[in-house]
Structure formats: structure tokens, C-alpha cells
Structure 1
Amino acid sequence: MSAEATGPTNPGLPRRRGRSRLDLRRLGRAALRGSASRDRLPDAIGHVVEAHRAHHPDASQEQLDALRRAYVLAESSHRGQMRKSGEPYITHPLAVTLILAQLGAETTTLVASLLHDTVEDTEVTLDQVRTEFGDEVCYLVDGVTKLEKVDYGAAAEPETFRKMLVATGNDVRVMSIKLADRLHNMRTLGVMRPEKQARIAKVTRDVLIPLAERLGVQALKTELEDLVFAILHPEEYAKTKALIAENERGSDPLAAIAEDVRGVLREADIEAEVLIRPRHFVSVHRVRMKRGELRGADFGRLLVLVNEDADCYGVLGELHTCFTPVVSEFKDFIAVPKFNLYQSLHTAVVGRDGGQVAEVLIRTHQMHKVAEAGVVALGNPYAQAASEEPAPDGERADPTRPGWLSRLLDWQQAAPDPDTFWSSLREELAQDREITVYRAAGGTLGLPAGASCIDAAYAQHGEGAHHCIGARVNDRLVALSTVLRDGDTVQILLAPPEAGTGPDAEWLDHARTPAARIAIKGWLAAHPDGPAVSEQTAPRPGLTVAGARHSAANAVVDLPGAAVRLAGCCTPVPPDAVTGFAVRGNVVTVHRVGCPAVGRMAALGRGPVGVRWVEVDSAQCRVTLTAESFGRPHLLADLTEAIAIEGVAIVSATVEPPTEGRVRHTYTLQLPDAARLPGLMRAMRKVAGVYDVSRAQHRAAATS
């Protein structure tokens, strides 16, 4: 099963190798002859019906009648409109619908495909579509209808994609139609100016091809890749095309290996179909970049199709017994499917003549259908949703609503502007692999490969992750920057909101998901000076500093309304002797008098600000402590427990690599009362292996 179709208008663009294609000009001539009577289907749509019945032989007369009525409406409403190629416009929705019919799309998708440009380009309204064809068709047509540039200007394209993705979240058939629409437009792109070809090809490369990959529609994805390759890399495409043509003139070594495989499987009494599957242009180019000079077997792969899952492993056993396997090439995507529904066994064997290595794909016929058509082969998502139990963690069990799409729909709401959405979408789609991690409290999180604990925090808690102070991975306390692996168990540690904690700009260096990056950037923009307190608002409860007076050469000057921030380099607490310095944003940073930063400020000629502690009820404070210890198992857990017993919250914790058997732990802690500090330090010193606990002195920037 394939999405192959007639070659593009531009003869320089690639033609899919395989069986011959329907000529769209013939469809155009049929369309110009006008619609048929009510008793039979129009000639132009007969090819669509034929392809549809090949996948849905039980299609009802009512469904076929809906196709006829949709074609009649589309043809009459587009009549007189021409494409840039000179063909009647109706040939475009016909071609898009034929692509989807060949992939096995159900009738509702095909009806919407025929009508997908009517609301955008003709006088037909959504209400008319709803009245004549129902709510589902109306929803699909609306989902793929572009937003007007006159209303949105330069934001029209990204906002149109945002609209389509939101619609896809409720019905994946929206994106199926869009992908087929883009494929036909790419096939006929040769009539456009070169600069417009390049622009459309880049958007196709960055957005549409990754979406086709994630939705598992390989038949569309591979042809789109070839078309983009020809436009953006014409020289490399020409070399690849020449290599393929040269190889096709000689004998195919895969034919002999395929015959040997058929014989082996017949002897093993395994019913199987063995096919030679030529690589498409981009695939050949990638193999050439990886291996250098290509051999005959590199231009294709063997595809073995069987009836049952167990037969796949039976085939694998026979191949590895009767041929020499290339162990490094084996992958089991049946036991562990890809996140885009793809399932197959991959292996490679050396031919019996010892000269050629053949890559082999082994899958069932159903797996092959899904591998080619992806979500298109899954049919109506509403019918599936009605027949399935909801997932225990609230995630839709419907496979047409995968985890990556749910994440995308979540973060797109927080994207502050079209440019942020557009760039974040490309970043999201550039991730080509997913991992699953387990939440300590139950349930799972789907994340892109390379995601850190920070990404997991925002995926689980949304903006509540601003208060994240640490994480446990597989029951071990780790840094927030820790990169997660597939199957890890993650527990996110949060400070109470009243603690006044917030993300650090450094978090952006470790955040991979758009959801985390957008949320962190939003918080940093709203808090340019970080968490701060003032005498009037005191957002950090319990520890305030009189705000205060600025010493100048002529007189003492009040700084009314100045916000106060406790310096992270020395974390002063009462009754420390303190001094302050005015920084940007009408903020005063407060340091302990003995802090090295005070000397650097004085050397730079920065005048101090007089500050003093103010007695308040329930005074909380923040302090950084360093524990020096001998390395031993469970030391970190014991220290954390000692701190918790004292009723102190851990804001952040770092553990330096052991040196000569000694380890340094640094904790930033939130104390409910500064008077508890001496007792806390004594409790930490009592932990076995700890030989010193002291107030931390960090190197502070001169501009603090």
C-alpha cells in the first residue's frame, strides 16, 4: 500500500518508483465534462471510489452517495477556478482525496477532503457543509481552512498551523487531510517561483514531514522528503538520481537473496510474502553519507510479510539460522513499538554468496498497513474512543491522540506570540524519539529523548514547577539538570508556594521541552530580579529588612518602596551584621558584612545602603549551609532526613564529586525561624561521617 501518485509538474522533481500513476489531467478533463446524473457516480471520482472499495469493500450505498454529493458540490463551487498549472482547480481536491483513499481513509475523511478548499476559496459556508454532510465533516473542513492574511498578516501561517493542531487534538483526521493536501501541492510546485518553492519546501521539511513521521504516515513522509530534497539540495539530489538510475541498469543482488529467503521459509512451512522494497531518494542519500560507496543491495531492502505476530519471530529465527546475521543491525520494534505506532523487526543478513548484506524488515500485513498509513489506517477516532476504556491517568487511550500531541496542545496555549509558537513548534518536532518515565505517585509521563528533571517537573505540575527544588530519580536525590532515561522513576520535590522560590535562568540550559522553556521564560520576564521582598509587600514572609537609607556624600537619602533581596552568595539571617547595595530595578541586595562581595563593591566605589533587621512574627529565613563529610552509602539520604526532622525545607541541594574519599554537600534551606539555625547545624554534624557544617560563602558577581 502506498501513496504513490503521478509525477510532479516539474520534471526535475522526483517520481515515486513503482506502479504507474493516474494522470491528473485526465481527471481534469473528466471534471470539465460536468457532473453526472444522480443515478451514477461522476467519471472523475470513479477512481477514488475504486481505491476506497479496495480497502472498504463493505462501503454502503449511503456512504458512496455522500462522496458523490461532495464531489458535485466541490466541482460546482470551484468551477471556473484554475490552478497555476492551468488545470481545473477541482483536480486538486480530487488528487488529495485519491491519496487518502489509497491509504485506506474512511468515507468521512474522503468527503471532507473533497470539500477541504470550498469554505476557503468559494462561496460555500461551514453552515452549508454542516447541513448537508454533518458535524464531523464540518469539523474537518473547518480544521484545515486557512486563516486570512488580511486579518492576521505575517502571523497567518503560524496561527493557521496552531488552529490545525488544536483541531487535530480532537480529531487526527484533520492533519491527515493537511498532509495529503501538502503532498499534492509539493508534487505540482514546479510552476511556482524558485524562492516560493524554497520557502514552502522549508516549512514542509521543518513542520509537515515531522508531523507525518509522528503520525506514522510513512507513505506520505517519504515522498515529501524526496520532493523537499530535490528543491533544497538539487545537486545532491541529481547525484542520487544518477546513482539509482545506474544501479537499475544492472542486475539486482537482492533478487537472488529474496529467492533464497523464500526457499528457507517454504522449508520451514512459514507462509510469507517476500518483496524487494526500493529505497527512496533521501534514504539512498543517507546510506551513501553513512557508508560511502554503495553496493547493489544498498539500494533496497527485503520486506517479509506474514499473518501473525508469532510468525515474525519464526521468520527471524530461520533467517538467523540459515544466513549469517549482522547482529548490530537487529532491532525489535514489535516488542517495543516506536512512538508513532510503527512495528517491525529489523535485521540484516549476509547473502549465501558472502558478497552482499541485505537489510530485512519483518512485519504482519496489519503492521505493514499501519506502517504505511499510520493514523489514517486507524479510521474514525470517535468510534475507537467510544469502545475503549479511559486510561487510568486521564490520558486518552485512543492511539490517535499520542502523548507528544497532548504536550504540544498544552504548551501552545502558553506561547505568548506567533513567533514563539512557530519556533517552539519546530523545536518540538525536531525531537525524533520519545521516552516514558514513571511518576513516583503513579502514572507515566511521555517526554522527548534528552529531557531533564526540569522537563518532567513542568510536564507534571505545569507552572507549579516554578517551586521545584529537587528531584529523586530511581529513589536517589539528583540535580534538576539530570537527563532522564527511558523507564526511570521520577519524583519531583516542590517547595511550598509561600517559600517564594522560582526558576533560575540556568534552568533554560537544561530544559528541552517547549512547555518548560516557555514557562521559565515567562517567569523570568515577570521577575527580572528574581524572588524579592520589600518592606511594604514582604513576599518572602518572616524575614524583612528595613528598607532603607542610602548614604551619600551630602546627606542620608530615603529609598521609599525599594525591594529587598537577600544575596545568594552569603544568605544572611538574623542576627547577622548586614549591609546593602542598590542594584538595578530599585532593588537593594543585602549581604553579610564579612561577605567577600562587600569588599569588591567598595573597591568599585559602590556606596552602601544602611539596613537593619526588623522583628516580625513567624519570621522565616533562607540560609546556605555546606556539610563536609567522608563518603559513605546513604549519606545524602541521612543528611536530608536530619534536615527534615528539624522542620526545615530544602530549596536546593548540590553534591560535589568525591575527592580523596571526602564529599561536600551544599544546601540552600528555608528555616521557619532564624533561631533554629544553630540547632539545625548541630543536628547535621551528628550525622555519621559529617565532620563540619558551616555557612556557605559563594563567589558573587561584582554587580550584585
Structure 2
Amino acid sequence: MSAEATSPGAPIRRRGRPRIDLRRIGRAALLGPVSRDRLPDALAHVAEAHRAHHPDADLAVLQRAYLLAESSHRGQMRKSGEPYITHPLAVTLILAQLGAETTTLTASLLHDTVEDTEVTLDQVREQFGEEVCYLVDGVTKLEKVDYGAAAEPETFRKMLVATGDDVRVMSIKLADRLHNMRTLGVMRPEKQARIANVTRDVLIPLAERLGVQALKTELEDLVFAILHPEEYARTSAVIAAAADGPDPLTAIAGNVASVLREAGIPSEVLVRPRHFVSVHRVRIKRGELRGSDFGRVLVLVGEDADCYAVLGELHTCFTPVISEFKDFIAAPKFNLYESLHTAVVGPDGEVAEVLIRTHRMHKVAEAGVIALGNPYAADGTAQTAEPADGEGTDGEGTEGERADPTRPGWLSRLLQWQQSASDPDTFWTSLRADLAQDREITVFRTDGGTLGLPAGASCVDAAYAQHADAAHTCIGARVNGRLATLSTVLKDGDTVQPLLAEDAASGPSPDWLDHARTPAARIAITGWLEAHPQAADSGQPGVPAGREPQSAPPFGPGAPRARTASAVVEQPDAAVRLAGCCTPVPSDEVTGFTVRGGAAVTVHRLRCPAVARMEAVGRAQVAVSWGDEQACRVTLVAESFGRPRLLADLTEAIAGADAAVISATVEPPSEQRVRHTYTLRLPDAAGLPALMRAMREVPGVYDVSRAQHPAGAL
């Protein structure tokens, strides 16, 4: 887990987390072990930070862990010249300052022993128990000698799987990476850049999703300094220049404190400086920075109700900027974050952003899952390290997100798709793509559940998120009760119902990949397509090019019997598919073509244009005849003039003819004309003429015909 020495830019100091002199800790560590009846000097800062959050914590186990770590790492040095023990000490101090409980700190002290020393997991288990052993194993890297170039992605896969059972694994990893980033300056520039890139693409998004803002913001600044040194220097100069100028935020904070004091609302009002990356983003967004853009006013209160009382006073006594108001208490973020956000105009016209939260909310906003204390209490429920007035950390929200903060929904989804990514490169690329999604939307399922999806997700993503591999048979969706194509982009709050075909043999089309945003969907679609290479002409919606659709199970209702041209003898072993390009029905004159080396036969109408194309390239026809059953599937095209309720009236006419809608597409209107394409299942082919008459009688419809071309994939 090791990387080394001074950071390229001065780290940002934060209230409540003073930087500790690790060289002094290193000197204390070099003194060697101490008597077991007193705490080692090198562990004193950790103990002090830990007791600040957990006054009754038993420090004896930390002392034993430190003594084992110090003795096993003795003689090892970091590239900075410091004793190696300073690294696990620093990682443990970071976690202690954020409020981690004793088990996490014990594992943190030992997190490199199994990887870098002769200590074994069995020794850790014997001396410190199963929990500590699991955490240490979870953050232990896989050996390059065994995995080669796949070592890094497979190590992250291992950590994510371990995090799925215990989020404290990732807490230790994040603190480990923060200290390594702080001390990265002695590395070669190219190695600094590689580590910074992985930190940006993987670790920072994970810190965001786990709600550990204190680690996320400092990691962002350190990555910014390495990957964009010129922009970092420019931003640093802007911040330094602002420090010498007027400070409107302090004045506004003073006014806010006075207003709340007069209103009798106990509160703490602070000015919270923005970190480097935040200032950089504001500068890009607004161009010239105002004096109030370098920080925000933070108001801390005791109760949830006080937050709204503060909001009311501020909006009464100051001019509010309504567009900046956000209520993350009523609708918390998926990463445990709760706050009220607003902005007010000060006496001199300066606009100040204001954050309003309880002390408990502030602790969780800073430390995320680390603030849960021991998230695996004896009763199986997550608990905060410092519960305030009966307030808990869980609550209602996206299914699986806040109900179990130790197993958030985004993590469950990530663990699901990673199992399908057997190739390390696919996993690594998909992981980065998944974590690059910086915003989530919540869509509702018709069964009452919810799905958390990245912004820009489509009905394809919803289908795979809800139905996994069964979504291969998806033929469309209903969004907010209306038929929609699978390419439809979902919005926050939409209700989505993926529609699955009864035909389990159908599968996705390659163009589904153009609409899939989630790795789960992309990996599932790609896997299916690779397992079903192109073998024949394209067919109906939901079937990729090269795969012939099956309109009904082979030898089921409406299935034709295939006969070889040379023998005119039935071939019961051949699977039969009805071509989606012409959707033949009983009584149509039909012919067939073998696919997949003769394992299947695709049936076309005799006048289908595809028949002429296949004959032109030398494909031999196979004689087919209809079975006794008369149920069938057919694709109809309705040409009409656009008008309100046209789709509803057509659907009603279809239902009145006892036909079931398998899929439907509506092309964009052109010159007031609309083209509807329906794939329908009829109980009896004899009812097809009556169905087509009923559709033609719908006002605005001027023609209904059988499809003579491949239906567009939904």
C-alpha cells in the first residue's frame, strides 16, 4: 500500500483536523518498543483523536496492534527517509480524526503487515479476531508476480467485493491513499501521474459515494496539483490574492449570527473556505470571482427543526436567491448527505452561499460511512458513533441506498455487474466509466420499488437493472404509462415498466449498446452478442442483426414444420424461426432458409424481399408447411395523419380484435404524417383481415399493411 514523500502543493488545512508532525512521530517510533503498561509516544496523537470521538474506547488493543506493526516493519524505510511505521500511524490518525471506531483503527495499524512483512493473516486472526483479519485481508494487494498487469484491477475488484461485506475496508483504503498522495513528491513524475489518475478515476468517486467529503476534497486538491500544475498554481495565486483583500463572508456570517441570536435559535456560525478544486470550478463557471466566492457560511444547530427555523429567519431578514435553495434534509443524497442549501444577498450586495445542518449532519457530511462508528452492531443495525437526541443515520429514500448505509444500492449494483466482467480490462474500464457518473436519478418501478441509475440512463439500463439477463427479451417499455422505445432517456422521478417478450429465444440488438449507460447493461448485452454471432438476416425488434427471431416456441402454436427440399420429410430436430422482416402467418405462402449449419430454419413469406437477396447469393431454400395451430405473430405498419390520441385509439382497435401488442414504435412526424409499427400476437391468423380493417377505420389512418422490411429495434 506504499507510496512516498512530500506533496507537490501545500495541503489544505481544515478546522478540527490539524496536521501532525510525522517526523516527530518517526523519531518516537525509532526508539523501539516500550513497556506494555504504558502507551507508546508515537501512538499518543491517535489515542487523543480516538478518545475525542469515543471517550470510553479501550486503547489496549491499539497498543498491541501498534507493537506488532512497529516490530514487523522495523528496519523498513519509506523513500522519504522516514521509518515505515509512520505510514500506518498516519493512516490510523486520519481515520481517528474522522471518528472511526476501534476495530477500524486496529486494522489500519496492521493494514500493511501481511503485504510487506512476515506477519500472516492467521497471526492477525489469532491475536485480533476475525473482523480485524477480514479488514486487513481486504486492503492487502494482490502480487504482481501472480497477476502481472492485471494485479491492480484485480486488487480493486477484491477490495470492492470485501467492501460489499464491510464498508470499513474502503475507509482504510481511502485513508491509505490520502497519506500516500500527501507524500507522493519523491516519486518519478510518470508514477505520480499514474497514481493520480487512478485516484481521480476510482478513489475520489468512491469517497464521494461513501460520503467521506473530508477525504474526497483533499484528494481532489492533491490530484489537481499533480495533473494540472499550472491551473493549480493559478488557483493558488487567486486564493492568496483574495486573502489580502476584503472579507465579505466574515461580515455576512456576523450578521447571520446576530439575526439568529435575536431570534433565540442556538447556533454556531462559521466561514467554511472552499478547497482549491472548488474555487477552480467556480472560477470556470463564473469567470471573475467575487469576494464571497472563496467560501460559504456554515450554520450548525442542534435539531432538524432548527434547520428550517434558521432558513426562515435568513429568508426573512436577507434577500434570498431562490434558485440556489436545495433541501437535502427532506430528500437526502444517496451518500448519507443532509443539509439545507441557500444563498442570501448581504448588505453590500455580495451573494453568500449558506449551508444549514445539525452537528450530527455535519459529522456525517464530513466522514460519511466512517461516522457510523461500528456499522455492524450486534442487532445488525447501523449506529452512529455519537447519536444525537435519538436521531439515526438511516431513513427513507432510494431503495437500498439509505435503508442500509453499510450496503448502499450503488455498491450492490456495482458488485452485480463486476461478476459478469471476467476480463480484468473490461472490469477496469467499466469500473471507471461507472464511477465517472457524477449524478444519479431515481426512477420508480410499477411494483412499488425504485431504481437508482446514472443521469442519462435509458430504458435499456432500467430493464437490465430490474431484470438482469432476463432483459435480453425486452421489446420496449412504458414510461409514465406511455409506450416508449428502449432508447428513451429517463428523468428523475419517471415511472418505468420494461416490457419483456414471452419468447425467451429473442435477444438484444447491437444498437442497444448506443443507449446503454450502465456497465451492467453494456456487459450483459456485449456478452449475449458475443455468444450469438451473426448467422442470418436480421429480424424483429430486440433481435440483433444476424439472428433470426422466433415468433413462437419451436413446434408450438403457429410454428411451421420444416422439411428438407431433397427428402420432403419432417425434421423435428430443427428449430424454427419466423422472420421479423415479413412476419409470415398461417395461410401465407412461405419458404425457409437454414441457419447455424442447419440447426435452425428461418421462415419468410415467399414475396419477402429478403428471399430474393438470399437467392441471389446462392442460399438454398427449404420447403416448409404450416402446422395445425393457427396462433401467429405479425408486424403491421399503420400510416396516418398526426392527431391527439391517435396512438390510444389504434391500441384500442387492436385490443378490440383480441390481438396482443408485443412491441410498438412511432416514428417522428413528417409533414403531419406519422408511421406506427406494431408487432402483434393474434390467437388465430384468420382474424388478420378483420384486424387490419379495424385499424384502417381509426380516424386519421389512411393505410395499414404488412411489414416488408426489418422492424427497427426498440
- CA-CA distance at 1:590 after TM superposition: 5.4
- 2:135 alignment counterpart: 140
- CA-CA distance at 1:589 after TM superposition: 6.2
CA–CA distance in 2 between the matches of 1:516 and 1:179?
28
- 1:442 alignment counterpart: 448
Range moving further from structure 2, 522-531 or 295-304: 522-531
CA–CA distance in 2 between the matches of 1:249 and 1:580?
84
One-letter amino acid matched to 1:113: S
Which of these residues, 46, 49, 64, is aligned with residue 47 of structure 2? 49
Range moving further from structure 2, 480-489 or 617-626: 617-626
Q: TM-score, normalised by structure 2?
A: 0.87
Mapping 1:114-153, distance limit 5 Å: 114-153=109-148
Which of these residues, 55, 63, 66, is aligned with residue 71 of structure 1? 66
Deviations 1:577-620 (A, max 9, x none): 45667899888765444444556677xx5345323323335476
- 1:222 alignment counterpart: 217
CA–CA distance in 1 between the matches of 2:475 and 2:84?
59
- 2:706 alignment counterpart: 695
Identity of aligned residues (%): 77
One-letter amino acid matched to 2:212: V
CA–CA distance in 2 between the matches of 1:560 and 1:608?
22
Which of these residues, 353, 358, 367, is aligned with residue 373 of structure 1? 367
Which of these residues, 355, 358, 375, is aligned with residue 361 of structure 1? 355
- CA-CA distance at 1:254 after TM superposition: 1.4
Aligned partner of residue 164 in structure 2, secondary structure = helix
One-letter amino acid matched to 1:573: V
Mapping 1:195-206, distance limit 5 Å: 195-206=190-201
Q: Is 1:667–2:683 an aligned residue pair?
A: no
One-letter amino acid matched to 2:458: S
Q: Is 1:319–2:314 an aligned residue pair?
A: yes
Aligned partner of residue 109 in structure 1, secondary structure = helix
- 2:330 alignment counterpart: 335
- 2:581 alignment counterpart: 569
Q: In structure 2, do the counterparts of structure 1 residues 299 and 697 end up closer, same or farther at CA, with 3 Å as the change threshold?
A: same
- 1:490 alignment counterpart: 496
- CA-CA distance at 1:670 after TM superposition: 4.1
Q: Is 1:417–2:412 an aligned residue pair?
A: no
- CA-CA distance at 1:665 after TM superposition: 2.1
One-letter amino acid matched to 2:13: R
- 8 Å contact kept, 2:586–2:630: no
Q: Is 1:268–2:263 an aligned residue pair?
A: yes
- CA-CA distance at 1:623 after TM superposition: 2.3
One-letter amino acid matched to 2:344: V
Range moving further from structure 2, 402-411 or 203-212: 402-411
CA–CA distance in 1 between the matches of 2:7 and 2:122?
41
Deviations 1:25-46 (A, max 9, x none): 1111111111221111111111
- 2:13 alignment counterpart: 17
Q: In structure 2, do the counterparts of structure 1 residues 385 and 459 end up closer, same or farther at CA, with 3 Å as the change threshold?
A: farther
Deviations 1:229-263 (A, max 9, x none): 01100111111111111222233221211111111
Q: In structure 2, do the counterparts of structure 1 residues 415 and 100 end up closer, same or farther at CA, with 3 Å as the change threshold?
A: same
- 2:387 alignment counterpart: none
Range moving further from structure 2, 607-616 or 233-242: 607-616
Deviations 1:134-166 (A, max 9, x none): 111111111111111111111111111111111
Deviations 1:413-472 (A, max 9, x none): 111311111111111111122222222122222222222222111111111111112222
- 1:655 alignment counterpart: 666
Range moving further from structure 2, 570-579 or 83-92: 570-579
Range moving further from structure 2, 432-441 or 74-83: 432-441
Aligned partner of residue 363 in structure 1, secondary structure = strand
- 1:94 alignment counterpart: 89
- 1:468 alignment counterpart: 474
- CA-CA distance at 1:99 after TM superposition: 0.1
One-letter amino acid matched to 2:425: D
Q: Is 1:257–2:247 an aligned residue pair?
A: no
Q: Is 1:456–2:468 an aligned residue pair?
A: no
- 2:385 alignment counterpart: none
One-letter amino acid matched to 2:559: L
CA–CA distance in 1 between the matches of 2:469 and 2:658?
26
Q: In structure 2, do the counterparts of structure 1 residues 533 and 367 end up closer, same or farther at CA, with 3 Å as the change threshold?
A: closer
Which of these residues, 147, 154, 167, is aligned with residue 149 of structure 2? 154
Q: In structure 2, do the counterparts of structure 1 residues 650 and 548 end up closer, same or farther at CA, with 3 Å as the change threshold?
A: farther
CA–CA distance in 2 between the matches of 1:219 and 1:386?
27
Mapping 1:238-317, distance limit 5 Å: 238-317=233-312
Q: In structure 2, do the counterparts of structure 1 residues 401 and 533 end up closer, same or farther at CA, with 3 Å as the change threshold?
A: closer
- 8 Å contact kept, 2:445–2:451: yes
CA–CA distance in 1 between the matches of 2:470 and 2:200?
35
Q: In structure 2, do the counterparts of structure 1 residues 394 and 279 end up closer, same or farther at CA, with 3 Å as the change threshold?
A: closer
- CA-CA distance at 1:691 after TM superposition: 5.2
- CA-CA distance at 1:214 after TM superposition: 0.6
Q: In structure 2, do the counterparts of structure 1 residues 585 and 220 end up closer, same or farther at CA, with 3 Å as the change threshold?
A: farther
Gapped runs of 5+ residues in structure 2? 383-393, 535-543
Q: Is 1:609–2:620 an aligned residue pair?
A: yes
- 8 Å contact kept, 1:595–1:697: yes
Deviations 1:673-698 (A, max 9, x none): 64553354345456676554320233
One-letter amino acid matched to 1:30: A
Aligned partner of residue 334 in structure 2, secondary structure = coil
Aligned partner of residue 496 in structure 1, secondary structure = coil
- 1:509 alignment counterpart: 514
Deviations 1:371-390 (A, max 9, x none): 10001001222118624799
Q: TM-score, normalised by structure 1?
A: 0.89
Deviations 1:533-559 (A, max 9, x none): 79xx95987534747669xxxxxxxx9
- CA-CA distance at 1:74 after TM superposition: 0.8
CA–CA distance in 1 between the matches of 2:176 and 2:370?
14
- CA-CA distance at 1:180 after TM superposition: 0.2
Mapping 1:574-593, distance limit 5 Å: 574-578=586-590, 591-593=604-606
Which of these residues, 345, 348, 355, is aligned with residue 343 of structure 2? 348
Q: In structure 2, do the counterparts of structure 1 residues 392 and 281 end up closer, same or farther at CA, with 3 Å as the change threshold?
A: closer
- 8 Å contact kept, 1:149–1:156: yes
Gapped runs of 5+ residues in structure 1? 1-7, 551-558
- 1:176 alignment counterpart: 171
- 8 Å contact kept, 1:532–1:564: no
Aligned partner of residue 523 in structure 1, secondary structure = helix
CA–CA distance in 1 between the matches of 2:124 and 2:659?
63
Q: In structure 2, do the counterparts of structure 1 residues 237 and 293 end up closer, same or farther at CA, with 3 Å as the change threshold?
A: same
- CA-CA distance at 1:184 after TM superposition: 0.4
- 8 Å contact kept, 1:533–1:539: no
- CA-CA distance at 1:277 after TM superposition: 1.0
Aligned partner of residue 338 in structure 2, secondary structure = coil
Q: In structure 2, do the counterparts of structure 1 residues 125 and 57 end up closer, same or farther at CA, with 3 Å as the change threshold?
A: same
- 8 Å contact kept, 1:453–1:484: yes
CA–CA distance in 1 between the matches of 2:217 and 2:259?
31
- 1:29 alignment counterpart: 27
One-letter amino acid matched to 1:13: G
